[in-house]
Amino acid sequence: MKIDKKIIKELSDYLKEFNLTEIEITEKDTKIKVSKNNVSISNQPQVISPSTSTTGSPPNQTQNIKSGIEITSPIIGTAYHAPEPGAKKFVEIGKKIKKGDTIMIVEAMKTMNHVPSTADGVVKEICVEDGQPVEFGQTIIILE
């Protein structure tokens, strides 16, 4: 079996771009799964784990380190920047917020969950787009 390094590189780039922990693709009888911790390729029951990570997992992890106070999603769901479409956003870059202020809503199972700020600060970066799916523990906002 020939390993296509381009596919692995492309999947690794998606991990970074969309802040995912793992991604998997299946074509015919070949399955390629890339995660931040390992790269594995399987052909039905066989599993092969290359001893050298072709994409270099450690650089992915070091590039994800951000300066500032990270506020993470408490649940899996869909993130919304405003209480309803067309309404004023909870936070914007440069806005000063206090601990406990609602910074976003994460919808899970038709329930709108207000996400409070865990610290005081100024919004440095909003890490998710309006309507984007988020994972538990995913950084959604960075404060200075």
Domain residue ranges of the chain, discontinuous segments joined by +? 5-63, 69-143
> Tokens in use for 135?
């994972």
Q: Please answer whether residues 39 and 31 qualify as being in contact, where contact means their C-beta atoms are separated by less than 8 angstroms.
A: no
Q: Please answer whether residues 74 and 106 qualify as being in contact, where contact means their C-beta atoms are separated by less than 8 angstroms.
A: yes
CA distances from 20 to 15, 54, 87, 136 (A): 5, 18, 29, 11
Q: Please answer whether residues 54 and 9 qualify as being in contact, where contact means their C-beta atoms are separated by less than 8 angstroms.
A: yes
Task: Please tell me the predicted confidence (pLDDT) of residue 52.
Answer: 36
The CATH-assigned architecture of domain 69-143 is Beta Barrel (2.40)
Task: Please tell me the predicted confidence (pLDDT) of residue 66.
Answer: 53
**CA 16/CA 21 separation, integer angstroms:** 9
**CA 43/CA 85 separation, integer angstroms:** 45
Task: Please tell me the predicted confidence (pLDDT) of residue 31.
Answer: 78
Q: Please answer whether residues 103 and 71 qualify as being in contact, where contact means their C-beta atoms are separated by less than 8 angstroms.
A: yes
Residues lower than pLDDT 50 in the chain: 38-65
Which position has the token pair 């450690």? Answer: 58
Task: Please tell me the predicted confidence (pLDDT) of residue 88.
Answer: 92
14-46 in b/e burial notation, b at 16+ Cβ within 10 A?
Answer: ebeeebbeebeeeeeebebbbbbeebebbeeee
26-31 long-range Cβ contacts below 8 angstroms, 24+ apart: 30/1
